[in-house]
Structure 1
Amino acid sequence: MREIFSNLLRRKLRSTLTVSGIVIGIFALTTMGSLAEHFNSLLDIGVRYAGAAIPVQAPPEQQGALLPLSKQAELARVQGVSAVYPGYTVQARPGGSAIQLGAPDLIVNQQAGAEQYGLPGPKFAAGRNLAPGQQGEIILGPTIAGDLGKRTGDTVNLPVKPPGAREDFVSHPFKVAGVLTKNGQTDTFAYVSDADARMLLADTLSPTVRSAIDVNTVAQSFTVFPTKGTSLNEMDAIAARVNEQVPGVHAQKPSELVANFKSAGSTFTAIFTGAAILALIIGGLSVVNTMIMAVSERIREIGLKKAVGAHTGQILREYMLEAAVIGALGGLIGYGIGLGLTTLLDVLGASSNLDIFLVTPRLTAIALGFAIGMATLAGIVPALRAARLDPVTALRSL
C-alpha cells in the first residue's frame, strides 16, 4: 500500500486531477441521489396512505359539489366496507400567493381510529390527541406549526386572515392540543373535530348557499376503509361496487393512486441514474487516462519486477489496486463534500421546515461502492497492458 501512495505522489498534479474527476462525479451522485431518496421516501409514505383507503367524492361532472351526509350510511352497506369517514378540507391561508412552493396549509377533520384499518396513526412531537367530542382544539402538523409559530398550549386563529380580506371574514380561536412529528405526508395539515370542520366549511360558503343548506348534513368527501390488510385488487373491486351501488358519488381506485406515486418515483430514480452515469463518464475516463500514463512511465519497473519473478497476476492486482485506491480517495472526498453540503442546507432550512435531502445507508453504500468499483473497472485495461508486457522488451525500453 505504501508503494501505491508513493506512485500516486510521483505525479501529484495528475493524481490530483484524476481524484478531482471522481470527486465531481460522486458529489453529483450524492447530492442528486439524496434528493431522490428524500422524494422517494415521501412517495413511499404516500403509497401507504393511498393503499389503505378509498377516496369518494362527487362525480367528475359535479366536481367540488357537497355530498349528503346520508351517503355515509349507503357507503357503509357496500360489501367489503368496514368504516366510512366524512371529509372536510379548508385552506388555513385563503387567498395566499398563486406561487406555492410545497403543499398548502390545510385544515381537515381528524379521522379518529382510522389506524385500525391500516392508515398510519398520529405520532406526537409534543402534546396529545384531540379529546373525544371536544371543540375548539386543534392538532398541528410540524410544517404548519412552524409557519404559524405555534406550540402546544398556544391559541391560534384560523383561517389566517389574508391582506385585503372582506369585512365579514371570520377567524376562529383554537387551542393547540398537540404538534405531530414530521412524516412528509401530512406535515402541512391541521386537524380539528368534525363539528369544527363543518363550522369552518360554513364560513367558506356564500351567504346564499349557507342559508339554503344545513352544513351539518353535508360532507365534501368520504374516505372508505376496508379491513386492514385488504389487497389493492380487492380495494379496486370495492371501489367498483361503490360506483355501481351508490348513486351520486365517484370512488377512485386505490391502485390508480399508487401507480401515480410510483410513476413519480420512477422519474426521480431516472435522475439518480443520470447522476451515476455522470460519475461513470467523468471518473472513469480520468482513471483510464491516469493508469495508462502510469503504465507507460513504469515500463522498465514492470519489466524488472517480472524479471525477478513477479507473476502476471501480481502485476495485474497491483495496478487494479492502485486504480481502486484512486477511486476510494475520490469517492470519500466527493461523498464527504456532498454529505456536508446536504446536511448544511437541511440545517439552514430547518427553521422553515424545508428539508429536501435524505442521505441513507443505501446511498452511502452506492456512492462509495460505485466510486471504487468504477475506478477498478476503469483500471482493468491499463492493468492488463502492464501485466502482459514482455520483461525483456520492457527492460530494453528507455
Structure 2
Amino acid sequence: MKLHNISFNNLRRRKTKMAFLTIGLVVGIATIVTLVTLTNSMSSDIGRKMDEFGANILITPQQNGLSMNYGGISLGGVNFDQKEIRESDLALISTIRNSRNISAVAPKVVGAVEVDRHQVLLVGVQFDKELKLKQWWNVFGKAPERGDELLLGSEAARVLNVMSGDTIDIKGEKFKVSGILDQTGSQDDSLIFSQLPVAQRLLHKEGRLSFVEVAALCSGCPIGDMVLQIAEKLPAAKVSAIQQVVEGRLKTLDQFRRFSYAMAGVVVFIGSLIVFVTMMGSVNERTTEIGVFRAIGFRKSHIMRIILLEAAVVGVLAGVLGYAAGMGGAKLALPMMAEGKQVQLVWDGVVAAGSLGLSVVLALLGSLYPALHASKLDPTEALRAL
C-alpha cells in the first residue's frame, strides 16, 4: 500500500477531527487575508485619491516684509525686495532627481480686472495642466481652447449674470464664455480663468508667474525631498508642502497595518496551537495502528511522511477555503472601512499564494512534533494494546 493512500484513508476515517482542524486553519487564514486585503485596498484607494487630490507642493515668490503694530493694533506692513517667479524657470523643475514623481506642474498668474463695473480676479492657467490637476472640476460647456475664450467660476458667473456662450469685455477686449464651473465650494467659484499668455498680457506680467502648483501626490512619493530639490533649483522662490491631510491618512493606514500584523501574529500562533493539539490527539488515538505499521517494516521516515502528508492536505484545503472566505470578508468590510463606495477590492496573487503557503506551513509545523513522536513509538509497546 502506498503512503499517500494511507494518509487519505486516515483523513476519510477521521472526518470530524480533520474538519475541526480545517475549520481552525480556515478561520486563521481568512482573518489574515481579510486584514491584508483591507490594508492593500485602502492603500490603493489612498494612492488613487492622492493622484486626484490636487497640488501638494506650492511655489510662491520669495518676499521680505515688515509688519507694524502700535498699542497692540496691527497697522499692516510693508513688503520689500519681492522676487518673482519667471516662467522660464519652470523647466528647472523637471531636472530634479525625483522628477519622475511629478504628475503635473500648473503655473498661474493672478490679478484684478474690472468686468461690468465688478472687480474680479483673473487667473491665467494652462488648461491641460489645470484640468489634470483638478480632476474634480465639472465644466458646463467646455474648457477654453483659444485665447479669446474664458472659463468662469459659478459665483463669478452669477455676479456677472452670464452663461456659456455669452461675451464679456475685459480691458476693451471681447472674450467668449466657453464654460462655467460647477460649484466647488472653494475660491475657484469666484474666479475667471483664461489662457496663461492672455492673462499675462492683460495684467502686464509677461513672462512672470504669481505661483505654481505641483502635483506629486502618489503613494510613497518623497514629498519632503522634492521640496528641497525644487528649492535648490529655484532659490528666488518659496517652496512649501501641502500634505497635512495626506500625512494624517497615511499615519492612520500605517497604524491599521501594524494592527493587522499584530493580529496576524496572534492568529498564526493560535492556528499552530490548534494543529498541534489536534494532530497530537490523533497520534495518541492511533498508537496501535502506528505500532502495526512499525512491526510490519515501516520505517520512522514512513510514519512521519504519512502524518505530514495528512497535515499538508488539510493545509492546502484550508488555504484555498481561507483565501475565499477572507476575500469575502474583505469585500463586506471594505465599504465600512474606507471612504466612499468606489473603493476597489484588490485581488492580489501574492496574497493568494501566501495564504496557501502559510496554511501548509502552519499545518506542517504544528504536525512536526506529533510526527516525530509517532515515529519514535516502540512497536512492542504499541502492540500490547491489541
What TM-score range do you get, normalising by the shorter chain?
0.5 to 0.7
- Deviation at residue 242 of structure 1 after TM alignment: 6.8
> Partner letter of residue 93 of structure 2?
V
Query: Does the aligned pair in 1 maintain the 2:227–2:240 contact within 8 Å?
Result: no
Query: Does the aligned pair in 2 maintain the 1:54–1:239 contact within 8 Å?
Result: no
| Residue of structure 1 equivalent to 2:345 | 357
**2:23 paired with 1:35:** no
- Distance of aligned partners of 1:339 and 1:198 in 2 relative to their CA distance in 1, 3 Å threshold: closer
Q: Using the alignment, how far apart are the partners of 1:384 and 1:240 within structure 2?
A: 65
Q: Using the alignment, how far apart are the partners of 2:144 and 2:190 within structure 1?
A: 26
Q: Using the alignment, how far apart are the partners of 2:227 and 2:130 within structure 1?
A: 19
Identity of aligned residues (%): 25
**2:325 paired with 1:337:** yes
Q: Using the alignment, how far apart are the partners of 1:231 and 1:347 within structure 2?
A: 29
Query: Does the aligned pair in 2 maintain the 1:239–1:251 contact within 8 Å?
Result: no
Secondary structure of the residue aligned to 1:222 is strand
**2:286 paired with 1:277:** no
Give the counterpart of 2:213 among 201, 218, 223.
223
Q: Using the alignment, how far apart are the partners of 2:336 and 2:248 within structure 1?
A: 31
1:18-59: per-residue Cα shift (whole Å, max 9, x none)? 211111111111211111111222455578899x98433699
Residue ranges of structure 1 left out of the alignment (5+ in a row): 60-69, 89-108, 123-128, 139-156, 160-167, 176-192, 206-215
> Partner letter of residue 34 of structure 2?
T
| Residue of structure 2 equivalent to 1:23 | 26
Query: Does the aligned pair in 1 maintain the 2:41–2:346 contact within 8 Å?
Result: yes
Query: Does the aligned pair in 1 maintain the 2:288–2:385 contact within 8 Å?
Result: yes
Name whichever of 299-308 and 288-297 sits farther off.
Answer: 299-308
- Distance of aligned partners of 1:201 and 1:236 in 2 relative to their CA distance in 1, 3 Å threshold: closer
| Residue of structure 2 equivalent to 1:201 | 187
Q: TM-score, normalised by structure 1?
A: 0.57
Q: Using the alignment, how far apart are the partners of 1:172 and 1:295 within structure 2?
A: 86
**2:284 paired with 1:296:** yes
Q: Using the alignment, how far apart are the partners of 1:265 and 1:347 within structure 2?
A: 15
Name whichever of 129-138 and 20-29 sits farther off.
Answer: 129-138
Correspondence list, 1:179-190, <5 A: none
> Partner letter of residue 354 of structure 2?
I
Secondary structure of the residue aligned to 2:128 is coil
Q: Using the alignment, how far apart are the partners of 2:301 and 2:246 within structure 1?
A: 52
Q: Using the alignment, how far apart are the partners of 2:59 and 2:232 within structure 1?
A: 12
Give the counterpart of 1:379 among 354, 367, 372.
367
Give the counterpart of 2:304 among 297, 316, 338.
316
- Distance of aligned partners of 1:317 and 1:132 in 2 relative to their CA distance in 1, 3 Å threshold: farther
1:56-113: per-residue Cα shift (whole Å, max 9, x none)? 3699xxxxxxxxxx9873475378324852479xxxxxxxxxxxxxxxxxxxx88625
Q: Using the alignment, how far apart are the partners of 1:224 and 1:357 within structure 2?
A: 30
Give the counterpart of 2:128 among 112, 128, 143.
112
Give the counterpart of 1:328 among 312, 316, 323.
316
Q: Based on CA coordinates, which of the two structures has the bigger radius of gyration?
A: 2
- Deviation at residue 320 of structure 1 after TM alignment: 1.2
| Residue of structure 1 equivalent to 2:15 | 12
Query: Does the aligned pair in 2 maintain the 1:37–1:358 contact within 8 Å?
Result: yes
Query: Does the aligned pair in 2 maintain the 1:284–1:374 contact within 8 Å?
Result: yes
- Distance of aligned partners of 1:172 and 1:324 in 2 relative to their CA distance in 1, 3 Å threshold: farther
Q: TM-score, normalised by structure 2?
A: 0.58
Q: Using the alignment, how far apart are the partners of 2:260 and 2:127 within structure 1?
A: 37
> Partner letter of residue 236 of structure 2?
Q
- Deviation at residue 382 of structure 1 after TM alignment: 0.5
- Distance of aligned partners of 1:262 and 1:198 in 2 relative to their CA distance in 1, 3 Å threshold: closer
Query: Does the aligned pair in 1 maintain the 2:25–2:318 contact within 8 Å?
Result: yes
> Partner letter of residue 375 of structure 2?
A
Q: Using the alignment, how far apart are the partners of 2:230 and 2:320 within structure 1?
A: 51
Query: Does the aligned pair in 1 maintain the 2:85–2:236 contact within 8 Å?
Result: no
> Partner letter of residue 30 of structure 1?
V
- Distance of aligned partners of 1:111 and 1:331 in 2 relative to their CA distance in 1, 3 Å threshold: farther
Q: Using the alignment, how far apart are the partners of 2:361 and 2:246 within structure 1?
A: 35
| Residue of structure 2 equivalent to 1:154 | none
More strand by share: 2
Q: Using the alignment, how far apart are the partners of 1:53 and 1:364 within structure 2?
A: 35
- Distance of aligned partners of 1:348 and 1:29 in 2 relative to their CA distance in 1, 3 Å threshold: closer
Q: How many residues align?
A: 300
> Partner letter of residue 6 of structure 2?
E
